[in-house]
Homo-oligomer: A and B are copies of this chain.
Amino acid sequence: MNSDRLKALTDGVIAVIITIMVLEMKPPSGHDSAALAALLPQFLSYVLSFVYVAIYWNNHHHFFTLAPKVGGGGVMWANFHLLFWLSLIPLATAWMGEHGFQPWPMAVYGAVLLACSLAWMVMQAAIIRAQGAHSALRQAIGADWKGKLSPPLYLLGIGLSFAIPWAAAAAYALVALWWLVPDRRVRHVAARLEDDQAG
């Protein structure tokens, strides 16, 4: 099974997720600087979610460069499972943005991030299983510290939501920053693989 349409659908869903998050930010009803300032919590929520969605797209892009032929069966459903949780990010973002640093919206936002990270690990495992013993992806991700440590960090953020909500926001932002640092190994292997195919 070829993964071209799987990638095209994923690109489409992620493109709409990004732009739908902006739709949830309603234009202010007033037209002065105070009306604009009141939009700030929603804007910051949007920035954080945009970065998360971009990170997922980026990783998806690298992973499927390492697995160009794996598009059927289990991988396809694992990908839909991931898209399901990603598709809830706009809703969680809007709820968090509209209520500032309130415990429940902060916790639900963290829970959606947690579910996305677990769905990611499931998809990773499905690809590696489909590739078999010499999986290029398995070699590329190595010990996968980022993947393994993110879920506990989201759990920490969910717990913090009910005690010090702003600390939960800080936890989510820090995990995003950590992921922004490029994953040298995956990209290195991906680049080599592309050279092999081209040469």
Q: Which residues of A contact B (CB under 8 A)?
A: 1-2, 5-9, 11-20, 22-25, 27-28, 31-33, 35-36, 47, 50, 54, 57-58, 61, 65, 72-73, 76-77, 80, 83-84, 87-88, 90-91, 94-95, 98-99, 102-105, 108, 180, 182, 187, 190-191, 194
Closest B residue to A72 by beta carbon equals B187
A17 and B9 alpha carbons, distance in the complex (Å): 11
- Residues B32 and A104 in contact, CB atoms below 8 Å apart: yes
- Residues B27 and A94 in contact, CB atoms below 8 Å apart: yes
Chain B residue numbers with a CB within 8 Å of A18 are 13, 16, 83, 87
CB distance from A79 to the nearest CB of B (A): 10
Q: Choose one: B15, B36, B99; the contact of A9 (CB below 8 Å).
A: B15
- Residues B31 and A99 in contact, CB atoms below 8 Å apart: yes
Closest B residue to A58 by beta carbon equals B76
A–B Cβ pairs within 8 angstroms, 10 of them: A2-B65, A9-B14, A11-B15, A13-B18, A17-B19, A18-B87, A28-B95, A36-B104, A47-B84, A61-B76
CB distance from A182 to the nearest CB of B (A): 6
- Residues A31 and B105 in contact, CB atoms below 8 Å apart: yes
Chain B residue numbers with a CB within 8 Å of A17 are 19
Q: Choose one: B6, B7, B22; the contact of A88 (CB below 8 Å).
A: B22
- Residues A7 and B7 in contact, CB atoms below 8 Å apart: no
- Residues B31 and A190 in contact, CB atoms below 8 Å apart: no
Chain B residue numbers with a CB within 8 Å of A61 are 5-6, 76
CB distance from A192 to the nearest CB of B (A): 11
Chain B residue numbers with a CB within 8 Å of A15 are 9, 11-13, 15-16
- Residues B73 and A187 in contact, CB atoms below 8 Å apart: yes
Closest B residue to A105 by beta carbon equals B31
Chain B residue numbers with a CB within 8 Å of A105 are 31
